[in-house]
């Protein structure tokens, strides 16, 4: 049962008043576009499917428009905000508008793309409106750094959402798609009009749902079950990501050529690819995460 009434949520007037009182002007360099529509944040919270058992990691809470319904739904919200003025104001806003929920909030003033440790119980879900210019690096960093995150729902630029969810062979499939696939499934969960933001951006946004892939127990590298050939150790994420980076650094070239520097030579790249069961004449855009894992494993076995 919700403890929040619609009047407790933040709308355009409340957010602009807060901004004026704090002397805050949205910073383009930080990608600050604040959601000012209560219906949108309520919808995002519902789609995230968080409950009292969840610890939600929210990145860039801003004035708290999404924080309030998340606090209402989840057991705890850990909000990471890089702007010191906004970070200091957020607990005050929650205490003012939803005092019964204030004890569920903890705010960390930090850059989410650099954070290495978080206080309190481990987060189980990531829910955030991410700045367009850092969305993918932030998601990848948090999935790598906070293994307790099992699922998420993030709002990003529509074009970025397309790239995050693209399957192999798609025109927009690339490094973000492949690296996210290492961690799990990324899927489109909806669209968001630019009109719900202040200031209004020049693009629409999309919602991306994330579900972490199950890992074999005792595997520190996070190897993908059933992909690495029998008799070989699981390959680490860093090794797989090195192959992905090399494969897409020269997108139009065959893997034999694109992986030449990574393997030591074109001939060695071909040998590794054949060992992994991958056609040396293929291009990176045709490969799924399983193939990239096999290539990294074959490269490690031949090292």
Q: How confident is the model at residue 127 (pLDDT cuts 50, 70, 90)?
A: very high
Q: What's the chain's average pLDDT?
A: 91
C-beta of residue 158 within 8 angstroms of C-beta of residue 204: yes
Residue 107: is its pLDDT beyond 80? yes
What sections of the chain are H helices per DSSP?
Answer: 12-22, 38-48, 67-73, 84-97, 135-145, 158-165, 175-183, 237-249, 255-258, 260-263, 266-275, 289-302
Query: What percentage of the chain reaches a pLDDT higher than 70?
Result: 91
Average pLDDT over residues 114-126: 96
pLDDT value at 233 more than 80: no
Rg of the chain, C-alpha, whole Å: 21
CB atoms < 10 A from the CB of 274, how many? Answer: 13
Least reliable range by pLDDT among 13-27, 149-163, 180-194: 13-27
Whole-number pLDDT of residue 132: 77
CA nearest to 182, candidates 233, 116, 132, 235: 235
DSSP secondary structure of 30-98: GT--EE--HHHHHHHHHHHT--TT-EEEEE--TTSTTHHHHHHHSSEEEEEES-HHHHHHHHHHHHHH-
**pLDDT band for position 220 (cuts 50, 70, 90):** very low
Tokens of 252: 């139009």
Higher confidence at residue 265 or residue 303? 265
CA-angle at 157, arms to 123 and 76, nearest 5°: 20
- pLDDT class of 217 with cuts at 50, 70, 90: very low
Tell me the mean pLDDT in the region 54-59: 98
Could you tell me the residue ranges of all domains in the chain? 6-212, 237-302
* pLDDT over 80 (residue 115): yes
- pLDDT (mean) for 270-281: 97
pLDDT band at 29 (very low <50, low <70, confident <90, very high): low
Correct CATH for 237-302 of 3.40.50.720, 1.10.8.100, 4.10.93.10, 1.20.1260.10: 1.10.8.100
Alpha-carbon distance of 280 to 295, in angstroms, equals 11
Q: Considering the domain 6-212, what is its CATH architecture?
A: 3-Layer(aba) Sandwich (3.40)
pLDDT of res. 207: 98
Q: Give the DSSP letter of residue 265.
A: S
DSSP, res 171: T
């Amino acid at each position: 049962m919700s403890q929040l009434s619609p009047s407790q949520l933040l709308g355009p007037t409340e957010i602009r008043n807060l901004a004026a009182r704090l002397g805050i002007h949205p910073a383009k360099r930080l990608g600050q576009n604040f959601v000012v529509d209560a219906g949108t944040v309520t919808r995002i919270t519902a789609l995230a499917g968080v409950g009292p058992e969840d610890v939600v990691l929210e990145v860039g809470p801003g004035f708290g428009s999404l924080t309030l319904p998340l606090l209402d739904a989840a057991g705890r919200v850990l909000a990471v905000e890089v702007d010191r003025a906004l970070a200091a104001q957020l607990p005050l806003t929650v205490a003012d508008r939803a005092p019964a929920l204030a004890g569920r909030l903890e705010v960390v003033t930090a850059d989410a793309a650099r954070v290495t440790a978080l206080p309190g119980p481990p987060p189980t879900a990531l829910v955030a409106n991410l700045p367009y210019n850092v969305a993918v690096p932030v998601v990848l960093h948090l999935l790598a750094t906070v293994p307790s995150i099992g699922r998420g729902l993030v709002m990003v630029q529509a074009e970025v959402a397309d790239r995050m969810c693209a399957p192999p062979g798609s025109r927009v499939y690339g490094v973000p798609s492949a690296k996210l696939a290492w961690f799990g499934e990324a899927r489109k969960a909806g669209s968001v009009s630019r009109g719900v933001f202040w200031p209004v951006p020049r693009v629409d946004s999309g919602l991306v749902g994330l579900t972490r892939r199950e890992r074999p127990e005792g595997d520190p590298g996070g190897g993908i079950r059933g992909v690495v050939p029998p008799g070989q150790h699981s390959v680490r994420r860093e090794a797989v990501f090195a192959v992905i980076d090399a494969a897409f650094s020269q997108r139009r070239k065959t893997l034999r050529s694109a992986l030449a520097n990574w393997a030591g030579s074109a001939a060695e790249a071909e040998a590794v690819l054949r060992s992994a069961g991958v056609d040396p004449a293929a291009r990176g855009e045709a490969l799924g995460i399983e193939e990239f894992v096999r290539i990294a494993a074959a490269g490690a076995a031949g090292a």
